[in-house]
Structure 1
Amino acid sequence: MQVLQEDSVSHPIASLRNATTSGGEDKLARAAALVSVSNRIRHEDVPRLLDAAGAVIGQLASAETVIRIADTNPDAIWIFSRKGRDRAEGFVATLLLNEAGRIALFDGSLDLLDPQPQYLAAQHESPAIIYVWASYTPGLMAAGIPRVFDRFDSPHYAQTDIVSTSFTLRGHRAMVNRGFEKGVELNGRRLEQFYILKRSPRSLTASEPRYANHDNASHPTGIRVVNGFDDMMRVAAIRSAVFIGEQSCPFDEEFDGNDLAATHLLAFVDNEPAGCMRIRFFGEFAKMERLAVRKEFRKTRTAFDLVHASVDLCRDKGYRRLYGHAREDYLRFWQHFGFKLKENGAPFAFSDHSFVEMVDEIEPSAEAVTMSDGPYRIIRPEGSWHKPGPLERSADRGTV
């Protein structure tokens, strides 16, 4: 089917959101109890439903095409009616696409008015993506939408991304409220017309920056920016073990008063805190420091991953120059990442070790945070500029 100026998906989801946020959870539950949702369609209902939906949405696929999609996979088309009545009053239509279909959807070669059979996943196959093709759920029928999502939360579909489109502010807010993110990446291009609910391990991992890719369930070995005192305690434990325990560094020298004026990265291996890095930001440069990896994890790539992630974070903040102090015996490690001895820099010593100054020149990333990004991105939590934050979501409540 095809969405023109209005995305029909936005209307029922927005209605559902309004019922929930206006003290209406009980109201929504009562409404849902009055709605039947089934993937068993009667062929004679399809033309009438498409005519009614077409008056709201615009041009849609033919009845024959919709029936063909349902015959390929019954979970693709869902019919809504009032309980106790035979007359169908609404529908949610999806395309359950295989991997080739996923690519075709994003590159534009999928015919949305008559989807090619080779792109459709059969009922026994796990689809590569679920595309919300169109929906028409007027009035009370909107209360049945969670029943469709319940089906797509079942084990057969739970790790499949859900994608939709919206061209209205109302639809955008509804998508964000349901957890969708605006924009899809394909071969280095960002497709802003799509909204995606990321659920597949591939999307959850690939979409996250290297400094924000740790997840207890889907990515237990990864890195995240420290945003709370619980993670700060993990950082302190790692540095105490490495610098105070192994290297006999005095407490006041290790915890030097700069920790609360810095950004910290925390690395995990199978959800166990394994290493950390501290970054302090100055006017023209960022300083990399306090790289520490627990002894039992030094044969992993934790140290390399922490440095790569730290450089990426600095690039995403728009920095062009990095600065650091390296112990002379560790200089070769830092040279792997492009660091060079600072011109006219002389060796110096502190905490019973000899150090050298080093610098690296980098380019800000294409997604670097700037003032032109608007207020919402700038107020997102540190290291989470790639996804909506709590203050951004609060805007949906409106103002008093």
Structure 2
Amino acid sequence: MGIHTVPVGKKISDRKVRNLLGLNSEKYGRGLICYTPTEKIISHLLDGANSYIMKLAPVDVVMKVFRYNPETIVAFNRGAWRETPSNESLGFWCHLPLNADGHDALFDGRLDRSNPDLRYICRQHERPAAIYHWLVYAEPNILGGLSLVMDRFSSTRLRGLPMYCIAATPTAYNLFLKSGFKQGASYKHWVNPNMMTLVPPDPAAGRPIYDSYVPSPPDPKKLGIKVAHTVHELMVAASIRGAAYVGERMLPVYDDMDGNDLSATHLIGYVGDEPAGCIRIRYFADFVKLERLALIPQHRGGLAFKLARAAIAFAQMKGYSRFYGQASHPYIKLWKHLGFTQRSGEGLTHVTDEVYYEIDLVTDQPAEHLTPHSGGLVLVRREGQWDRPGAYETWGEGQ
């Protein structure tokens, strides 16, 4: 089966792409409800869809899948849940939650999409390896119900899964291109140019680099950064430094824990959900000192550069344009790539035999930075989240 959403000939407006996984259900799903349908509702919906979709799977096949896993079909309509069909508009979304073997079978041809073998489909409450959107049918006036269905795919169990479909008609193809799908799908060594893939939106899009970490990102290798706001996060930064400085470089514990942690800002870098690096920012009258850049050995590389850039951007947002640091020889190249210059001289030695060279950077004053006139509500927001409503602005919502 394929995907179809509106009667043939119904024009889809030339609007911008709105990713299905990013739809605001409070806006688009207003007045609509989604639920697990009865078998009477499913039969009624399949009868309606059969008028527009050729080679639709037989009712008994759809029922077989539904009885095996009731989560595979979601119905939506205006008003309240219903047990029997009515003359009002109805829509439904059928998907196949594929296990690992089913994911392979989708690409190697073993999965018969018109009559799927149940051994490829997950049971209810299991986490699938992939989602194949088997059949979507809805009349235009209730298309907003798709946003309610997509809310289900944002749960922890289903978030971040690869999603595929095959559009049944040119109209459906056009709609799904405008809903975040792209033409073509690949998995392992297989490529299917006729399948479509839903590319999840980046939840950190538009955020500053120092606020780019989002829990459970779709890409488990995605780099993200956030300010350490809690004692727990401060301990995470200390653990990373302990592994990098004390454990690996044999720095004495009390030289790493130098008493300056509570007067500084700490940024933590993540690879997926794994804390993997950190950097410390200390403030002086007209400059900041960037220090304690540390990374877990297996995650060294691009994260170090991103942490350093984030620290500079964070301090610039506070109005600083002059930066100072001390870097050992292996890291001089990284800092120079960011615009730092190395001071002349033989460098400094601390407790270890390693030589540290003083480095400086002066940037232009950022056009937009925090000032006493940035607004009272802005200045009491969480550090690094000045572009997002704070606790005082969201308190009482939904009360």
For the pair 1:212 / 2:214, whether they are aligned, the reply is: no
Amino acid of the residue matched to residue 216 of structure 2? N
Q: Deviations over 1:120-174 (max 9, x none)?
A: xxx9999xxxxxx999xxxxxxxxx9x8863452449999xxxxxxxxxxxxxxx
- The residue aligned with 2:315 is 314
Q: CA RMSD in A?
A: 5.4
- The residue aligned with 1:358 is 359
Contact 1:152–1:158 (Cα < 8 Å) also in 2:
no
- The residue aligned with 1:250 is 252
Amino acid of the residue matched to residue 205 of structure 1? A
Q: Normalised by the size of structure 2, how large is the TM-score?
A: 0.51
Task: Go from structure 1 to structure 2 and tell me whether the alpha carbon gap of 1:234 and 1:154 turns closer, same or farther (over 3 Å shift).
Answer: closer
- The secondary structure found in structure 2 opposite 1:207 is coil
Amino acid of the residue matched to residue 369 of structure 1? L
Q: Normalised by the size of structure 1, how large is the TM-score?
A: 0.51
Task: Go from structure 1 to structure 2 and tell me whether the alpha carbon gap of 1:380 and 1:201 turns closer, same or farther (over 3 Å shift).
Answer: farther
% identical equivalent positions? 30
Cα distance in structure 1, aligned partners of 2:231 and 2:288: 23
Cα distance in structure 2, aligned partners of 1:377 and 1:303: 29
Task: Go from structure 1 to structure 2 and tell me whether the alpha carbon gap of 1:281 and 1:150 turns closer, same or farther (over 3 Å shift).
Answer: same
Amino acid of the residue matched to residue 151 of structure 2? D
Gaps of 5+ in 2: 1-25, 31-44, 46-51, 53-75, 89-132, 161-198
Cα distance in structure 2, aligned partners of 1:149 and 1:348: 59
- The residue aligned with 1:101 is none
Cα distance in structure 2, aligned partners of 1:304 and 1:292: 11
Amino acid of the residue matched to residue 250 of structure 2? S
Cα distance in structure 2, aligned partners of 1:246 and 1:377: 41
- The residue aligned with 2:121 is none
Q: How does 1:298-337 map to 2 (within 5 A)?
A: 298=300, 300-337=301-338
- The residue aligned with 2:278 is 276
Task: Go from structure 1 to structure 2 and tell me whether the alpha carbon gap of 1:155 and 1:287 turns closer, same or farther (over 3 Å shift).
Answer: same
Cα distance in structure 2, aligned partners of 1:202 and 1:363: 33
- The secondary structure found in structure 2 opposite 1:326 is strand
Cα distance in structure 2, aligned partners of 1:201 and 1:247: 40
- The residue aligned with 1:286 is 288
Higher fraction of helix: 1
- The secondary structure found in structure 2 opposite 1:153 is helix
- The residue aligned with 2:175 is none
- The residue aligned with 2:348 is 348
Q: Deviations over 1:201-226 (max 9, x none)?
A: 43413222222222323354422211
- How many residues are paired up? 273
- The residue aligned with 1:381 is 382
Q: Deviations over 1:251-301 (max 9, x none)?
A: 111100000111111112232222111011222111100011122222x31
Structure scoring higher RCO (CA < 8 A, sep ≥ 6) equals 2
- The residue aligned with 1:237 is 239
- The residue aligned with 1:295 is 297
Contact 2:217–2:272 (Cα < 8 Å) also in 1:
no
Amino acid of the residue matched to residue 261 of structure 2? D
How far residue 346 of structure 1 moved from its aligned partner, in angstroms, is 7.0
Task: Go from structure 1 to structure 2 and tell me whether the alpha carbon gap of 1:201 and 1:269 turns closer, same or farther (over 3 Å shift).
Answer: same
Contact 1:267–1:273 (Cα < 8 Å) also in 2:
yes
Task: Go from structure 1 to structure 2 and tell me whether the alpha carbon gap of 1:329 and 1:237 turns closer, same or farther (over 3 Å shift).
Answer: same
Cα distance in structure 1, aligned partners of 2:369 and 2:394: 22
- The secondary structure found in structure 1 opposite 2:280 is strand
Contact 1:380–1:392 (Cα < 8 Å) also in 2:
no
Cα distance in structure 1, aligned partners of 2:141 and 2:376: 32
For the pair 1:262 / 2:264, whether they are aligned, the reply is: yes
Task: Go from structure 1 to structure 2 and tell me whether the alpha carbon gap of 1:153 and 1:330 turns closer, same or farther (over 3 Å shift).
Answer: closer
- The residue aligned with 2:151 is 153
- The secondary structure found in structure 2 opposite 1:296 is helix
How far residue 236 of structure 1 moved from its aligned partner, in angstroms, is 1.2
- The secondary structure found in structure 1 opposite 2:275 is strand
